[in-house]
Structure 1
């Protein structure tokens, strides 16, 4: 319990109790390592992620920051090992840290990724066409 508390910043990591001196618990180590390795290579489709994002945003929309709410356009899994999720947002600076943690915790609740750190990249949407400046008529 004390170890779990000391390692609360990696609460997603499994703990295997073992003793190098007596050999107790060493039989659990390799199966756990294999499970972590398997989870490291899991891939979620963009469709799955976007449906999850819609349900997460519906139950708890992004908060207002300086009077405006960040709009999350879509999410995709950019890399596999480690799983890296790219989230396209109207303004990443308007997405507070607590909401980013909410997204990760919600995703881990449905897809645990045991023992695997998740990387998140929040980036602004690129304009497809640059806005043309209007000329004022005199």
Structure 2
């Protein structure tokens, strides 16, 4: 499949380049603040955006999923979530929180965005707001709980 004709993850994204330790995509200013707990090992913060997929997940919070660490991301199989065709893109930006409807799964990529165009059928639902190096330190499989962050 030729991904060059698909929407790249960076299309229409607000990008930050000031701090390479943070997500490439700027988080939405008025999204839903969340905490993602990887078992007892780590807790990171994020913000979910206003797309149909993200809002369907918000309605299910707190949400627990099993996620595993891979080369450039953490991901896990989830229940199907609704999405809009115009939000589908290929690839990711480091620090994205994405939903891939092909399997379906949730993924949190933390590196290799420059090599990600091959991975398609994704919808961006949010952004990690904690330093990404924290995610790189994880190894193995975790029971991950996504919950609303305290205001």
TM over 0.5: no
Higher strand share: 2
Higher helix share: 1
With normalisation by structure 2, the TM-score equals: 0.25
Structure with more relative contact order (C-alpha pairs < 8 Å, separation 6 or more): 2
Q: Highest CA radius of gyration, 1 or 2?
A: 1
